[in-house]
Amino acid sequence: MLRCRERFNMTTYVNRQNNQRNWIIKIALIVIVVVTSALFLIKSNQHNLTQQNYPPASETSTSVNNVNFVQNRLSHQTLDLTKNSTWKPNADMLPELTALLHLPPADPSYLHHHDHLDIYIHNQNIVVPAQIGLSSTVELPTHTHDPTGIIHVEASDTTFKPTLGLFFDVWGVFFTEKNIGGYTIDETNKLTVFVNGKQYQGDPRQLPLNQHDEILVTFGSESELPRPMLSKYVFPGED
């Protein structure tokens, strides 16, 4: 009789211990799930906030929150073509533009290549000035050092893929499928972009800046296109 009672007590004790252990495991799992979910929500909210404040460069053309900032930097000026004038580089608020467009730091040890840009308006060559994308406090990953038209692409991110539209935004010149500066297409005058001598058919803002491309932007009538067509640029000291 005593042994049966001891066996019963032992069985009850073991069952109680097992139940307690099971409850502890269940509570621990619930805590893990709750904490994990909370951390995920916090991270997701932070990511969404970041995206809202600083969208990628590809979204800046349509972002209501940020398009005004970019557009307010851009020149809509027409040029005095008789005096070989050009649009001056806009160095105002370059750090803010860098943050807004999520541009990587300029670092040629990771990504470094060159493109060449020619601009013709009514068959007048427009100089691409020096110091685009440069100031005393910041160096953007698309910039110029001299007025030769060579665009330097230098970035700490090897996946950085700049576009022609980004370069004009950095320069501070209004540039779309229909506009360059203060010039707008009409029945006579067209804005046409060529890459290595071939007409580019897409949105010129999305034209990628690839190694050693010769990019020609023209505005004017068909008869005002430069002849012969520019199709190649010899980069000094490069193959």
Give, for all 239 residues of the chain, the pLDDT tens digit. 544 455 445 555 445 655 666 666 666 566 565 555 554 444 444 333 233 333 343 333 334 457 788 888 999 999 999 988 999 999 999 999 999 889 999 999 999 999 999 999 999 999 999 999 999 999 999 999 999 999 999 999 999 999 999 999 999 999 999 999 999 999 999 999 999 999 999 999 999 999 999 999 999 999 999 988 899 999 998 75
Same domain, 33 and 74: no
Contact 191, 185 (CB under 8 A): yes
Listed in sequence order, the residues at least 6 apart from 206 whose beta carbon sits closer than 8 Å to its beta carbon are: 163, 164, 165
In-domain check, residue 75: yes
Cis peptide before 89 (omega within 30 of 0): no
In-domain check, residue 239: no
Same domain, 80 and 146: yes
Kind of pairing between the strands at 214-220 and 111-121: parallel
Residue with structure tokens 């000291």? 237
Same domain, 175 and 149: yes
Same domain, 23 and 106: no
Residue closest to 114 by CA, chosen among 143, 76, 137:
143
Task: For residue 118, give the 3-state DSSP assignment.
Answer: strand
Same domain, 117 and 72: yes
Same domain, 47 and 78: no
In-domain check, residue 189: yes
Distances (CA, A) of 102 to 54, 76, 110, 135: 7, 25, 17, 18
Same domain, 124 and 183: yes
Contact 123, 224 (CB under 8 A): yes
Domain that holds residue 92: 68-224
Same domain, 35 and 101: no
**CA-CA distance, 163 to 16, in Å (whole number)?**
69
Same domain, 193 and 95: yes
* Number of domains composing the chain: 2
Contact 233, 194 (CB under 8 A): no
**CA-CA distance, 7 to 12, in Å (whole number)?**
9
